[in-house]
Homo-oligomer: A and B are copies of this chain.
Amino acid sequence: MVRPDARPPAPAPEGGSLPDAAAVDLSVQLGPMRLANPIMPASGTFSENLARVMDLDRLGAFVAKSIYATPRKGNPTPRVAETREGMLNSIGLPSKGVAHFVAEHLPAYAGLKPPLVVSLSADTVAEFGPAAAEISVPGVGAIEVNISCPNLEADGRAFAQFPDATYAAMSAVRAATSLPIWAKLTPNVADIAAIAQAAEAAGADALVVANTILAMAIDVETRRPRLGNVMGGYSGPAVKPIMLRMAFQCARAVRIPVIGCGGIVTVEDVAEYLIAGCSAVQVGTQTFLEPGAMPRLIDELARWCAARGIGRVRDLVGTVRLDPDPSHAEWLAS
């Protein structure tokens, strides 16, 4: 994959020889967790079925589809629609409940190396604590708290649309588990940094920025919405510039690590999120188009770093240069 704005690599560092891709240290630190590399799937775009096309042990972590404490059905079909550079989905978080997950899915991860991150949703703040306690079983490495799902106490708006609901939901989970907890934020907000800070204050160990953007498409012949649920979440390359901005804003607003998510296709996209301040990234939609996207990105990231004399991937994190470009000096002065 060649990215439209790909540039030739910068020249090798003076005097030194380039490291070999195999010698690049891909590991990253995510709060209390050390991951072998920064590439992991986004919730809802991965399952153990992917073992049919790749070696799961290569991933930095596993992130499962969001589950609720109790079983629930999903949305009407059509549940997806494609757009020019992305997709809409209104799957609607069908779930067979925590107990079913523990019994039916957890065993598939036993013996695999990467940590399993369980994504947890709930309808109300009160439901989060017990569900988090129930899922805190051996084999689960962290809980990703999907506070971008609708909060039934707030007229269906997401917890993560409000700092106070974010704080309440994350605090409930924090009190109920000793596992690392990640807050998955929604981009459907005016000020994501304020939400990020509320999650941090409630004890989140990391942030995932972000879930899908609420969007819509209409079939102009039938005049029906293209999704059975009328509106749905937008993901894929089209959303990347928005998600990158939000990840950058969050990384500057909090001290906990940020995991970037949205529109990753190329190794340059991964590098862009890391440089913007993310410690790791999640890959979603691209896996639907290219099931081997994550292992490809891991290989390419090692080569990309090697070609630029970068020995450790984590040295890229947050290195965006905000100093004024000399060629802009005239503008900044005027």
Chain B residues near A77 (CB-CB < 8 A): 327-328, 331
**B218 adjacent to A231 (CB under 8 Å):** no
| Residues 228 to 246 of chain A near chain B (Cβ within 8 Å) | 228, 230-231, 234, 237-242, 244-245
B-contact 0/1 string along A153-187, CB 8 Å cutoff: 00001000100000000000000000000000000
**B331 adjacent to A75 (CB under 8 Å):** yes
A59 CB to closest chain B CB, in angstroms?
22
C-alpha gap A82/B83 in the complex (Å): 19
> Given that A221-B9, A272-B218, A275-B220 are known contacts, is A241 also in contact with B83, CB under 8 Å in the complex?
yes
Copies of this chain per assembly? 2
Please tell me if A49 contacts chain B, counting CB pairs below 8 Å: no
Chain B residues near A161 (CB-CB < 8 A): 190-191
**A276 adjacent to B216 (CB under 8 Å):** yes
**B328 adjacent to A228 (CB under 8 Å):** yes
B-contact 0/1 string along A244-257, CB 8 Å cutoff: 11001000000000
**A245 adjacent to B224 (CB under 8 Å):** no
User: Closest residue to A276 on the B side, CB-wise?
Assistant: B218
**A331 adjacent to B76 (CB under 8 Å):** yes
Chain A, interface residues (CB within 8 Å), range: 35 or more
Chain B residues near A332 (CB-CB < 8 A): 76
**A83 adjacent to B240 (CB under 8 Å):** yes
Chain B residues near A248 (CB-CB < 8 A): 216, 231
Jot down 14 A-B pairs with beta carbons below 8 A, ordered by A. A4-B84, A73-B334, A76-B324, A86-B241, A161-B191, A223-B320, A223-B321, A224-B320, A224-B321, A224-B325, A228-B325, A231-B245, A234-B242, A238-B239
A301 CB to closest chain B CB, in angstroms?
11
A86 CB to closest chain B CB, in angstroms?
7
**B83 adjacent to A84 (CB under 8 Å):** no
A267 CB to closest chain B CB, in angstroms?
9
User: Closest residue to A214 on the B side, CB-wise?
Assistant: B245
Chain B residues near A215 (CB-CB < 8 A): 241-242, 244-245
Please tell me if A27 contacts chain B, counting CB pairs below 8 Å: no
B-contact 0/1 string along A1-34, CB 8 Å cutoff: 0001101111000000000000000000000000
Query: Told that A214-B245, A224-B320 touch, could you supply 13 new A-B pairs with CB distance under 8 A?
Result: A8-B221, A75-B331, A76-B324, A83-B241, A85-B238, A86-B238, A86-B241, A157-B190, A220-B275, A224-B325, A228-B331, A234-B241, A238-B241
Binding site for B on A (CB under 8 A): 4-5, 7-10, 73, 75-77, 82-86, 88, 157, 161, 188-191, 213-226, 228, 230-231, 234, 237-242, 244-245, 248, 268, 271-272, 275-276, 319-322, 324-325, 327-328, 331-332, 334
**B4 adjacent to A82 (CB under 8 Å):** yes
A315 CB to closest chain B CB, in angstroms?
12
User: Closest residue to A268 on the B side, CB-wise?
Assistant: B220
C-alpha gap A228/B330 in the complex (Å): 12
Chain B residues near A237 (CB-CB < 8 A): 84-85, 238
- CB < 8 Å: which of B217, B271, B276 contacts A272? B217
Chain B residues near A82 (CB-CB < 8 A): 4-5
C-alpha gap A321/B322 in the complex (Å): 48
C-alpha gap A43/B189 in the complex (Å): 24
